[in-house]
Amino acid sequence: MLGIEETDGTEDQSIFEEEKYDIFGNVYLANTQNRLRQLDNPDDVDCKRWPWELVQNAKDSISNSNRKSVDIEICVDNDTYTFKHNGEPFNIKSLTALMYKYSSGKRNNSESTGRFGTGFLTTHSLSKIVQIQGDIIIKGKCKGFSLTMYREGEGEELLNGLKRTEKSFKTNHSPFGWTAYTYHASTRKNKEAGRMGIQNFKENIAKVILFCPEINSIKLFDNGKLFEIERGKEINLIGSDCQKLTLSLSNNGVKTKKTYLYTKYNKPNDELTERFEVRRNLRICCAVELDENNNIFVDTSSPCLFCSLPLVGSEAHELPFIINSPDFEPDSERQAILLDGDRIDEKTKKISVPGINKMILDKSKSMYRTLLEFICKNNSIGNRYSMARGLQSIPNVYRSFNGLWYYDNFICPMRNILLEYPIVWNGTQYFKLTSVYLPKFDKQSKEYEKKAYQFIFQLYKLVPTYEDSLLIKKTIWKNDSRLHYVNMKQCVEKIEGLKTLDELNRNIDVDVWSWLSRFLSFIQVYHNEYLQIHAIIPNMNNKFIKQTKDIASSTNVQENVIDCIENLGMDWRNCHINLRIVSFTTGTDHNIDYAVSKIRVYLKNNPNKKLILIHYIPYDCGDEKFIKKRKMLYEFCKTLWSDKMYQIKDGTTFPKELWRDIDEKVFKELLQTIENYGQLNDVITINFLNRFLECVLEYYYYYSSYSIIPNKNGKLCRKSSLYRDDNIPSLFKQCLKECFFKDINEELIHDDITSSILLGKKSIYDYSDFLQENFKKSETYNYYNINNYMSSQQKEKAALYLIRIIPKVNSEITSDDDTQNKQINLFKLYKKFTKRNYITSKIERNEKNEKIWIDSNKYIIKMIKKIIEKYSNITDLSNYLGITYKETIKYLKQFTLFSSEGRVIPNQNGKLCQKISLYNEGKWDNISKEYKLIPDEMKEIANLLKYDVKDILVHSDMGRICIENKSYEEICNTIDKLIISYYNADKKNKNLKVAAQHLIEIHFDNIGDDQAKIDFPNTFLKKDDITLNVIYDKKTRKNITEFGKKFGEESISSLLNNENVVNDIITGELTDEKYDNLKKLENEYNKKDIKYILNNPELIKKSINEMNTNSYSISRTLSINKKIEIVENITSHDTNNDVNELIFSIPSSPVSIVSSSPVSIISSSSVSSNSSSSSTIKNDKERVCVSFSRSMVSEQRSYYADTFNAVMEYGDDFDFNNPINKRTGLCGEAYIYKFLKQTGEFKSVTWNSLLNGRGNGQLLEYKGDVYHIVENGSHYDILCETFDGCKKYIEVKSTVGEFGNKVPFYISKRQIEMMKTIKYPDEYVLAVVFNVMNNPDHFFMTLKSDNL
C-alpha cells in the first residue's frame, strides 16, 4: 500500500519485550475467554451492537483532542466488513488496551462514551480475526501501523493468538490518515451478525446523527449500494425551547427524510462535578420523530435510550420520547440503564450510578412538558397519543431496575403532565384525555372492538377515532378516576335511562332503528343477560321493555297488516317487538295467517268500515292487474272523500276476497258523486277522469248511464252525446262561436280525455254545409224571417277567421291552379295587403277543403280590393306596402287570379285602373308567331300629341289579362290623324314640331317609305309640307343656310359626328372663353403632359382648391354609377368676392344641414335668383352651397370638400325617416347578426331589435330569412359574448352603395357616451356594411375613448 515500509518486525517487536506474558496471560484469559465463548453463538443484541461499538470507538478517538468531528465509512463486500474513521491516532497505551482487552472506562472523561472495554469484544460476533490498520504516535512521532488480532479458541490457543497478534504488528514511516478494522465473516452466525448489524445501523443511524454532532459524515457501501446521511440545518422554533432537525437519507439513490422535534438541556451540574472531581455538565436531549405528514412516528424496533449511541437491548424500556444523555450510566453490556439503588452512595456520600440515571429521568419530565406544549400548540402535528407511550405500566426491565421507584417518581408524574394537554383526536379536533370517553372493550376480538366502538361513538360522541382508540388502548393506563372509560354495560344503562326512542334518537346521528337493531343483536350475542335486567327492547309503541316470556315478535307480519288491525280497533303493538327491529327476536313469533284471520272476522261483522280496507293495496301479489285496480279505487276515493281517506297502506298478503264484496258498492257511490258535480273543477279534474274512465271501462260496464265524460267546455255529459275532435282548428271553432253562435265544443269530447271510449268523429268538413247555409243567408234584415238573416259584417268577420285556416304546403304540387295552393296564395295576398302578421292554423290538403272557403273568400277579395283602391298608382301603393315597384305589380298580378273587378289593374303609367278601361298591348302576328308590340317611340310621339297610349294599355308585367287588344296599326292610325289635325290647327305647336320630327325624320327612315305609306298614309302625303312648315321653320332654315355659308356644307356633318361638343355648346357649358383656355393649355403643354394631368385628376382638384378666385360644384346624380360631376362655377370672377363655393346637386327633397364656422352651408332654395353662387347653374335639382372663407388655407378647403363630397355620395343612406333607408339599416343588422352567429366564435349573439317571443313586430325578410323586428332605442345593435366572458357591443352602419375611398357615418352623442363607459376587455365596435342589398361586404372598427 501507499507509503508502507517493509520491515522484519524485530525492532517493532522489541517494545513488547519489557511486557511479561506470564503477568498478563491469566488476566487476559479471565477478561476475554468467557465473553468470546458466548460470541461463538451471539444473541440478537450482540449481532446488532457491533457497528455501534466501532462507531463509539471512532467518536471517542477525538474526545481528548481539539478535533470537533470525525468521518466514518463502512464497506461491505460480500462477507468482508471494513469499518474506517479519520479520528485521532492510537498511542501505545490505547493500542495496548485494545490488544489486551483493558479499559479505564470514562471515569473522568465527559466526552468519552467508552474506550475499548468489553464492548469491543462484541465486534467478534463478525469474526475473531480482525485486521487493523491505522496511525500511532510513538515517541511523539505519528506513523502508520497494521496488525492482525487473533482471538480464536480457548486457553493456550487464545494465548497463542495473542502472541501472533503481537508478532503481526508492523509500522509504516508514513501515517495512513484513517483507522480501519476489517472482518471476514466465515460462519453462518458471523454472516447473520453482519447483516443484522448493518440493518440495525440503518435503522438507528439517523438518531445517532441527531445526538452526536461530532460525527461529521457517515457512509455505508453495502455491496456496491451507497447509503449515506446528510445533516440538515437545526431550526430553533420561535416561542418554544424546541428545535427541529431534518436529515436527508440516500439509500442507493432512493432519497428519504427524517425529521425530529426535540429539546435539549446542557447545564453545569454540581452532583456530577462532585462525583467525577472535574467540572461536568448534565446533558440531555429528548426527541420525537415526525413522519412526512407531520404525525408523531414511533419505531417500536428502535430503543428509546441512547447514550450517544443506541443502547441496543433496551427496547423493552419504552418511553414517550427518545432520550439521549452521554451521562447515562448503562450496564456493562450497554443494554440498560441502572436504576436499582439509592440516589446517594452510602460510603462516598456522592451521587451514585443509579442516582445519575434517576437524576436524568427527573429532568426529562420538564423536557417532556416542553415537547407537549409545542406539539399541542401546533395543530398540524398528529398521533399525539404516542406521547403516552411507556406510561401504561412499569416496563418489563429486569436488569438493575427499581420498578416501584420508577412508577412513583417517573410514570405517575409523567401521566399528570400528559393529562394537562389535548392529545386525543375525535376526527375534528383534539381534547384532553379527561374530556373524552375512552372505549373499553370487554372482549378481545377485532370484530367485537369495531362494533362496540360504533355503539359507544354514537351514544357518547366525544370519543377518539376508532384507530386512535385501539392505539390508546395500548398506551393509556387503566384504573384512573380521572379517565372516563365506557364499556357495553354502561351503554345499556344509558339507553335504559333515556326511556324513549325519541330521546335515544336525539342522542345518535344515524337511523335509530337500524342502530338499535344492531345494538340489541350485539348485546344478545355478547351480553345476553343485560336484556332481562335492563329495559332496552322497543315495542311497537316505541316504549322500552325488558325481555319476558309474554313478549312476542312478528317478524313476518308486515307493518301495514298491523296498522290495519289497529285501525279496525284491535290491539297488537303493546305486546309485540317493534317491526323496525329487524335483526333481533325472542322465542315467540306471530305469523301473517294469524293476523289476516283477525281482519277477515272483523270486516264480516263491521261492513261500514269498508273504506279502511280500500287504503290497503298489495304491492306484489302476482296479479299486476288486480294491484292496479286497487290503486285506482283508492285514488278515486281519496279524491272524492278526502276527509275520510288517509295515506295509502300496503295490502300485500291480504287475500283478494277481503275486497271483492265491497268494490261494487264503492263504484256506485263514486259514479253518483261525480255526476252530481256536473262540471270539471278542482276535484273532478281531467287527470282524475282519465284514470276513472279507464277503470270503469274495464270493471264497471254501467258507467255509460251516468254523465261523467267532459266535453271541451268541461261540462260532464253522457257518452251518447259526444264526438271526438278530428283536428278541427281552434280558429274554426272560434269562428263558429263568435260569428254563427254555434259552440261545437259542446259536442266534442274534451281533448285531454285519453281513455279508449268508443265515439264517432267530427272534422272541419262536417261543418262545411253549416257554413254554406249561413253565408247564403240574406244580408237584409227581415223581422218575419229572422232565422234567414246574417249581416255582411258577421260574414266578413267569419271570413277573417277562415282565411287564416290554410292548407299545408306540398312541395310536389306547385301549380297555381291547384285549389289548395290558390287558397295559400290568397292568404299571402291578404297578409301582404293588410300588412299584418296573423296566427294561422294549417289543415291537411283535401278536396273537401274548398267548401270551407267557397263563400268566405268573396269577402276577403273585397277587402283586398278596397285596400288597393285607396291608392291611385303603383308608387303610392308600393310605399304603403313597403316593397319595390316591381314587387307590387307582382302581387297585383297574383290578385287578378282571384278577381279583376275594380280599380286594381295598373296601366303602363303605373295608374290603377279598371280592367274594362284597359287594353292588352299589340296583337298576335301569325307570320312571326308572336305579339307585335307598340314601339316606345310611338308611345312618346302619341304622348306629345296629348294621346297617352300608356294610359290605356295594361302594364306589361301584368300579362295579357284584358279582354281587348290595342294594336300597333291602331296607334299608327290615331297618330296619323292627330298629326294632320294638329297641322291644320296650329303649325307652330311645339309638341307637333317634336312629334313630327321624330315621326318623319326618324321613324319613317327606320321603317321605309313603303311601310310609312301604309301606317301613316295622311302624314306621308304631307310630310314635305310638314317638314318645311313645322320641323324646320323659316328662321331655322335661314340659320342652317347661314351656317353652311359661314362654315361650309360639311360643317353640319362634323357637328353631328361630335354630339358631346354640340351638347356642351347648347347648354352653355362650352363658351369661347373656355375654348380659348383649352387652346392655351394645349399650346402650353404637349399631349403627353395633358394626358398625365387627365389621368391624375387629384392634381387639378388640389390646384383649384388652392386658388381663392376659383370654385367648383359637385353634383350627386341618381344614375346607376353614381358619378360625381365636377364643374366650374363661372360666375365667381369678381375680385371683391371673398368666398369659394361647393355646390352639391341632390334630389329635390327638403334638406337641413347644421353648420359651424369656418364653413357655411345654405340650402339653395333660400338663394335668390341673382345670387352669384347659384344663379348660373342650370339644374332642376335642389342644391346645397358650401362657402369657404378667404382666410381658409387650401388644406382645410380640400379636407372639407372631400368630406362633403363623400357625405353627398352616401347621404341618402342617412335619411332615417325614409322607410327604404330604415330597411337598409335593418338589413345590415340582419346580415351582421347572421354572420356573427355562423362564425361559432361566440357563446351568445343577441340582436336587440329581434323579437324572439310572441308579438306583432315588423316583418323583415332578407336573404331568405324572416325576422320579427321591434326597435328598442338601444345605443348599440348587437351584443356578443365570448366564451371567456368578454362582451362586444356592435353598432351597425349600412349603405346600398359599394365600397369607396371614404365612408361617412353618423355616431350619436348617446352612443359616444356609452362607448366611454365600456371598460377593457369589453369593446364598442362599429360594423360598416356595403352593397347590403346585393353582395354585401363589411369591415369592423373598434372605437375607444382613449388612445393607448
- Higher per-residue pLDDT: 1205 or 1002: 1002
**Which 3 state secondary structure label does DSSP give 581?**
coil
Q: Is the pLDDT of residue 1134 over 50?
A: no
Q: Is the pLDDT of residue 730 over 50?
A: yes
pTM: 0.48
The Cα-based distances of 1323 to 427, 1236, 1249, 1343 in angstroms read: 53, 15, 20, 8
Task: Give the CA angle between residues 313, 318, 320 to the nearest 5°.
Answer: 140
pLDDT band at residue 17 using 50, 70 and 90 as cut-offs: low
Give the Cβ contact number of residue 387 at 10 Å.
24
| Per-residue confidence (pLDDT) for residue 1315, from 0 to 100 | 81
pLDDT above 90 covers a percentage of the chain that reads: 52
pLDDT band at residue 222 using 50, 70 and 90 as cut-offs: very high
- Integer Cα distance of 384 and 376 in angstroms: 8
| Per-residue confidence (pLDDT) for residue 957, from 0 to 100 | 93
pLDDT band at residue 891 using 50, 70 and 90 as cut-offs: very high
Q: 420-436, pLDDT tens digit by residue?
A: 999 999 989 999 999 99
Q: 1217: burial class by Cβ within 10 Å (0-12, 13-18, 19+)?
A: exposed
| Per-residue confidence (pLDDT) for residue 1086, from 0 to 100 | 67
> In this structure, which amino acid lies at residue 751?
D
Beta strands in 917-1018 (DSSP E): 920-921, 923-925, 930-932, 965-966
Task: Give the torsion sign (CA, 1269, 1272, 1273, 1276).
Answer: negative
- Integer Cα distance of 1017 and 993 in angstroms: 19
Give the Cβ contact number of residue 989 at 10 Å.
16
Could you tell me if 1014 and 1022 are in contact, meaning their C-beta atoms sit under 8 angstroms apart? no
- Higher per-residue pLDDT: 340 or 1086: 340
pLDDT band at residue 235 using 50, 70 and 90 as cut-offs: very high
Q: How large is the average pLDDT for residues 161-179?
A: 93
Could you tell me if 339 and 400 are in contact, meaning their C-beta atoms sit under 8 angstroms apart? yes
> What φ, ψ does residue 1246 adopt, rounded to 5°?
-120, 125
Q: 1225-1253, pLDDT tens digit by residue?
A: 889 999 999 999 888 888 899 988 887 65
| Per-residue confidence (pLDDT) for residue 1192, from 0 to 100 | 64
Q: Pick left, alpha or beta for residue 922 (phi over 0 → left; psi -120 to 50 → alpha; otherwise beta).
A: left
Task: Give the torsion sign (CA, 437, 442, 444, 449).
Answer: negative
| Per-residue confidence (pLDDT) for residue 1113, from 0 to 100 | 35
**Which 3 state secondary structure label does DSSP give 1161?**
strand
Cell triple for residue 1338? 363589411
Q: Is the pLDDT of residue 724 over 60?
A: yes
pLDDT above 70 covers a percentage of the chain that reads: 84
Give the Cβ contact number of residue 501 at 10 Å.
19
Q: 1166-1191, pLDDT tens digit by residue?
A: 333 333 333 333 334 344 555 555 55
| Per-residue confidence (pLDDT) for residue 811, from 0 to 100 | 86
| Per-residue confidence (pLDDT) for residue 1166, from 0 to 100 | 37
Q: 257-286, pLDDT tens digit by residue?
A: 999 999 999 999 999 999 999 999 999 999
Cell triple for residue 367? 423536557
pLDDT band at residue 1302 using 50, 70 and 90 as cut-offs: low
| Per-residue confidence (pLDDT) for residue 601, from 0 to 100 | 85
pLDDT band at residue 1348 using 50, 70 and 90 as cut-offs: very low
Q: How large is the average pLDDT for residues 1000-1019?
A: 92
Q: Is the pLDDT of residue 858 over 60?
A: yes
| Per-residue confidence (pLDDT) for residue 914, from 0 to 100 | 95
| Per-residue confidence (pLDDT) for residue 1128, from 0 to 100 | 33
Q: 333: burial class by Cβ within 10 Å (0-12, 13-18, 19+)?
A: middle
Q: Is the pLDDT of residue 1101 over 70?
A: no
Weakest mean pLDDT among 405-414, 578-587, 908-917, 1292-1301: 1292-1301
Q: 907-957, pLDDT tens digit by residue?
A: 999 999 999 999 999 999 888 899 999 999 999 999 999 999 999 999 999
Of the candidates 1242, 1234, 1208, 1217, which has an alpha carbon nearest to the alpha carbon of residue 1332? 1234
The Cα-based distances of 202 to 84, 196, 207, 302, 987 in angstroms read: 17, 10, 10, 11, 139
- Integer Cα distance of 727 and 763 in angstroms: 6
Q: 1043-1069, pLDDT tens digit by residue?
A: 776 777 667 767 767 767 776 777 676
> In this structure, which amino acid lies at residue 467?
E
End-to-end CA distance of the chain: 80
Q: How large is the average pLDDT for residues 1110-1129?
A: 34
- Integer Cα distance of 118 and 127 in angstroms: 16
Any idea how long the chain is?
1348
- Integer Cα distance of 683 and 640 in angstroms: 7
pLDDT band at residue 419 using 50, 70 and 90 as cut-offs: very high
Residue-averaged pLDDT of the chain: 84
Q: How large is the average pLDDT for residues 279-303?
A: 95
Q: 1334: burial class by Cβ within 10 Å (0-12, 13-18, 19+)?
A: exposed
pLDDT band at residue 1151 using 50, 70 and 90 as cut-offs: very low
